[in-house]
Amino acid sequence: MSRQLLPRLFADIQKRAPAVRLLVVEGFTGALEKQLAAGDLDLAVMNRYNSESAGGEDTLGQVETMLIGKPGAYVLSGKEVDFSKLDMLPLVVPPWPDGLRVFLDREAKARKLKLNIRLEVNTISALTRIAASGDAFTFLPAVAVLDDINSGRLAVSKIVNPAMVRTIALGLSQRHPLSRAARLVALRVREMMAELLAV
């Protein structure tokens, strides 16, 4: 979501509070949770899967996670792909303990599937580059890669049986009181995510 949120948020904060300097850290939920708990971050936008949730977070909305890959791949020729078909595909995913990885492993085990995980990476940009290369498939919400889909660089199919639903949550630091600037950023993140997720 950062590709859509950050440019808007930066422009908005510069207009509303030009003295505020933002420090943005991009990462997967597990790493962001640790930094938030340590007080290294004031707030974090994170993904939760299905019933997984953490206390003290605001739910911003939900999005479906899609199978992402190079256009023309047979498995992406339809609007949907069954979870049971994922074992046939080379996959690039985040490492443990990322929520997506935990979800994938849990669902595969429940269905007695062995996923073909070929690569584990810690950045969303690496996931999308590898998926676009055609060497492996990955999992992201369509809204996170909308520009790549519209340009024809990536193709997507909805995963079903089960659907992979992400809850987008805003976590706030519990280690220290939030500054006025951090409260403003949190408010604007809530409002902008509502707009982005309504698309």
Query: Does 108 have pLDDT greater than 90?
Result: yes
Q: What is the pLDDT of residues 130-151, one digit of tens each?
A: 999 999 999 999 988 989 999 9
- Range with the largest mean pLDDT of 12-16, 24-28, 98-102, 168-172: 12-16
Does 2-60+168-197 match 62-165 in CATH topology? yes
Mean predicted confidence (pLDDT) in 160-180: 92
Q: Architecture of domain 2-60+168-197 in CATH?
A: 3-Layer(aba) Sandwich (3.40)
Which amino acid makes up residue 38? A
**Domain 62-165: CATH architecture, name and number where available:** 3-Layer(aba) Sandwich (3.40)
Which of 11, 5, 12, 8 has its CA nearest to residue 26? 5
The whole-model pTM stands at 0.84
DSSP conformation class of 83: G
Peptide bond into 141 cis (omega under 30): no
d(CA 190, CA 186): 6
According to the model, what pLDDT value does residue 192 have? 95
Is-contact 120 69, C-beta < 8 A? no
Structural domain spans, the chain: 2-60+168-197, 62-165
Residues 6+ apart with CB under 8 A from 59: 53, 167, 168, 169
pLDDT, one tens digit per residue, over 17-74 is 999 999 998 888 888 888 999 999 999 999 888 655 566 788 999 999 999 999 999 9
**Contact status, residue 128 vs residue 163, Cβ threshold 8 Å:** no
